[in-house]
Amino acid sequence: MADDQDRALTEADKVMIFKLATASLPRRYREAIKTGMSNEELSNALQSVLGIFGGSGGPGRPSISFTGSGLRIWGGWRTVNHVSEKPLFSGKATIAMARQVYGIKDPNNKQMDLF
């Protein structure tokens, strides 16, 4: 059996990494999330919660690095190198993932909800 350090990231792992990196977003921006946020507002909120640079890790947890600059989030089951590795999420992809994970609507999107 391979240890966690040899394990490839699943989609569920990527969602978990995203949620860990942005954990303060739903607490700090609860009301804005309920009413919806434009891409600019959401980008500013993500920059604020990701900060200048941060990360976490530990036994049984993925290694995570993140920065508000470029809205970049790295993660893996081994120590990630934010200098030489491509981030899992960056820019518009980070905004899109935040909308998906936290159910944040864009008030500027006039298309009707289908569901």
Question: How far apart are the C-alpha atoms of 29 and 111, rounded to whole Å?
Answer: 24
Question: How far apart are the C-alpha atoms of 95 and 55, rounded to whole Å?
Answer: 19
In a domain, 98, yes or no: yes
pLDDT of residue 113: 58
In a domain, 111, yes or no: no
In a domain, 108, yes or no: no
Domain that holds residue 31: 4-102
CA 36 to chain centre: 17
In a domain, 114, yes or no: no
Question: How far apart are the C-alpha atoms of 42 and 27, rounded to whole Å?
Answer: 14
Per the CB < 8 A criterion, the answer to whether 87 and 76 are in contact is: no
pLDDT digits (tens, 9 = 90+) for 72-96: 999 999 999 999 999 999 999 999 9
Total structural domains within the chain: 1
pLDDT digits (tens, 9 = 90+) for 33-67: 999 999 999 999 999 999 999 999 989 899 999 99
Question: Of 69, 85, 78, 66, which is closest to residue 18 (Cα–Cα)?
Answer: 66
Question: How far apart are the C-alpha atoms of 43 and 89, rounded to whole Å?
Answer: 13
In a domain, 80, yes or no: yes
